[in-house]
Amino acid sequence: MSTALLAWHGWGFGPAAFDPLRTALAGHCAMAAPTLLGPADGVLGTWADSLAASVAPDQVLLGWSLGAMLAMSACLRGARPRALVLISGSARFSATAQWPHALAAETVAAFQHGLAQNPARTLQRFLALQALGDARRAAVLTALEPAREHQAAALAPALDALVGADLRDQVGKIGLPCLIIHGAQDALMPLAGAQWLATQMPQATLKTLENCGHAPHVSAPAEVAKAITDFIASLPDA
């Protein structure tokens, strides 16, 4: 019987970003990937509150990038999935002196400004970051292009939620089995942030994929699918 997998996409993209992984998981997991609409108030906790009730206890909750942050936040706010899979996730998106494992604050501010002033160019830059450092850069860009979200009005509050969130003091409370999958060459959310997460979450395991950037589920879907199915097979209730 297929495992129920609920997948939450990253900022700037829609559910189609999961198409390569959905294909690779066919016969093993039944994936539901809803479109996530950012909160009007631009607060990640508000968004996570609205999503937590949609998570069923028989589902494995998977989040990519912003979706990974939402998945962690939803679990801190009452969601109780069977397990977690975090792809290219981090506890904080914007760097500080105490948290260097992220985009520089100046770069983040430039994205926010650019989204307001020139959304098309800003979203094109963000697309390019997904594949930066990836050995299959062209293939990643080709696969993600159709999944892009182009409505700046919908993206602005979601970006505010991403930039304003900081889960570092809370992730240790997530006691669910968790698989963290991260590209070694991720230029958007550096591997060190995922390594830190793996040390803080009591039941987390880190799977690092060499030659992959921020979208390993697109760059190496078969390898990601195997990591997920092996993880699910190892769960106590498998």
List active site positions: 65, 186, 214
Count Cβ neighbours within 10 Å for each residue of 118-145 and write b for 16 or more, e otherwise.
Answer: ebeebbeebbebbbebbebeeebbebbe
Helices 66-76 and 152-164 cross at an angle (nearest 10°) of 60
Q: 84: which strand partners?
A: 61, 178
Q: Which amino acid is at 125?
A: R
With residue 130 as reference, give the H or E element that holds it.
helix 119-131
